[in-house]
Each structure stands twice: as structure tokens, then as C-alpha cells.
Amino acid sequence: MSSIGILSTGSYVPERIVSGDEVAGPAGVTAEWIERKTQIVERRYAAPDQATSDLAAEAGRRALDAAGVAAGELRYLIVSTSTPDSPQPPTSYVVQDAIGATNAACFDINVVCSGFVYALALARALIAQEPGALVLVVAADVYSRILDVEDSKTVVLLGDGAGAALVGAVPEGGFLGMELSSHGSARHLIRVEAGGSRVPVSHDTVDEGGHFFRMDGRGVRDFVMENVPGAVQALVERAGHKLDDVQHFVPHQANGVLLTQLVAKAGLDHAHTHRTLELYGNTGSASVALALDAANRGGHLKGGDLVLLAGFGGGMSLGATVLRWTPAR
């Protein structure tokens, strides 16, 4: 059977640029403080009439256009998001209708910032049992709708965006290995407490800010530093390589200072670490996908390059994959 890999990528960010000054005042900090603590200069916010599916659909179209594939050729459509348009129907069904993927079976997944890599793993498994299938993976989040503008731990970090990858058979290379892990005992580190079946939306939950995104930044940093370096090293070694062989590292764009520390601890200083957080901030599930598309469209990824993707975040979760990059179709 042919190898399975990424055939093309796409991404989309909203037009509205939100500066550090705009979020700094209500959060009680300064733009200088934000840049020093996070290295994020600006982020994008969706327009009032844009939902997660709108961003996802545009990113998906761009990935399909890059491969010269029609939406009707898709067998599966997977949307990774933790900010769906609504509890029901699945956001993937809205995207399916928007792009005309009438022959695709669709579903959503929610693994927060690791979701793109988890979705790639699912796409790989689907193609393995159905050779020749094409799977469109789209990761999108609109965090601007669930941010507390007075919470400096979160509002300074997060933005909106979407990224996509078309997955299918490749003549050689492609995915060499996957690493997925879940740590439910640490689920309190990143959360939206109200709005589900345990704490339904009510006037009280809204008044108390229960529908806002909350995060324990120090706890997240400790989780990342304790778990990600060893996981990516083990993954690369299982794939038959050494860390020194990795040419491109595409991590979740959580925080610039954290990424610098992670690269050093993981022994990936030699690799080209692709970053988009300075301009887009942390876009949740879309983060790795956005950075991958920027690297691809920027001409940085060449056929045969060894590429390491790593997502980490809410759950807590970790998703990583190493692949041999395939030349554009």
C-alpha cells in the first residue's frame, strides 16, 4: 500500500487585527508587558457575522485548491474545534454544506490545542482501511467569543483562525509515526466551566463568567515541560531517526517564551521552529495547522524534509507526529 501523508495545506485568519494596546487596557497590563511575557504582538478576531465554520470552510477551500481537488472527491471531513458554531449540529456538517463536500462523511473532534494532530491520526487510520480515500482535516477556533477581557492570563494570548490539510496516499514518505496521550487528572488547568450538562447555562453562570475560557498558565507550562520533550524524542526514535535529523519543528503556538524554553529542553535548537504567534497569537486547535501552512506556502518545506508537529493543551492532551514531507502535487 502507498504511504499516507499530507497532500496540501490551507489556512485563513479574519481581517480584524487586534493590537496589544487594545487588549492591554481592560486586562490591566501594557502592550510592552504582553510582548515581553508572550512575544505576541497582535492577534485576529472574527467579524460579528463569522462563526467557526466560516473560518474552517475558507481554510478547507484553500487546501483543496492547492491540491487541485474538488470538494466532491472527499470521502471524509474532520473538523477539530473547541468552539463549535453550536452544540448541535456538528460544525463539520456546516462546513460540508458550505464547501460542497456532498460525498464526505463528517464528524467533529474536540481535543483543544492537540486536535489537529489527533485529527491527522484519525485521517491516517481511515485511509489505511480505505485506500485511495481523501480526507480533509480542518482545525478552527474562535476564542474571541469566550474571553474575559479583564483576565490577563488569557485575553492577551488568544485569537481566531483556521488551518487545514488534505490527507491521502503519497508515493513515498508521509507519516512515519504518531504519539497521542491524554492526562485527564490535569483537566482543571484549561477549562470552560459552564455551558454543558454538568453546569448548564443560566443567568447565574453568565453573571459569574462561567462561560469564559480559564487557564492556569503556570500549571500548563509545567505540564508541557514535563511531558512534551520526552514524548517527541521517543516518537522520533520509534520512527527510526534521531532528534538531530528533524529539520522542521511545527509546535502549538501557545506562548513565545514557552516555545523558546521547550525547543531548548527538547533538544531541537538545530531545527527550524516555525512560529506564527507573533502575528496571530494562540489560535487553539488551529495553531499547528496555521503554522504548518505558513511554512509550506512560504516555501520552507522541501520534498524529503523530516517534519515534527506537536500539539499540547486542554485535557490535558499531547499529540505529535513525525513525517517525511511530500512535494506539492
Tell me which residues are annotated as active site: 113, 252, 282
- Residue whose cell numbers read 485569537: 159
What are 154's three cell numbers?
488569557
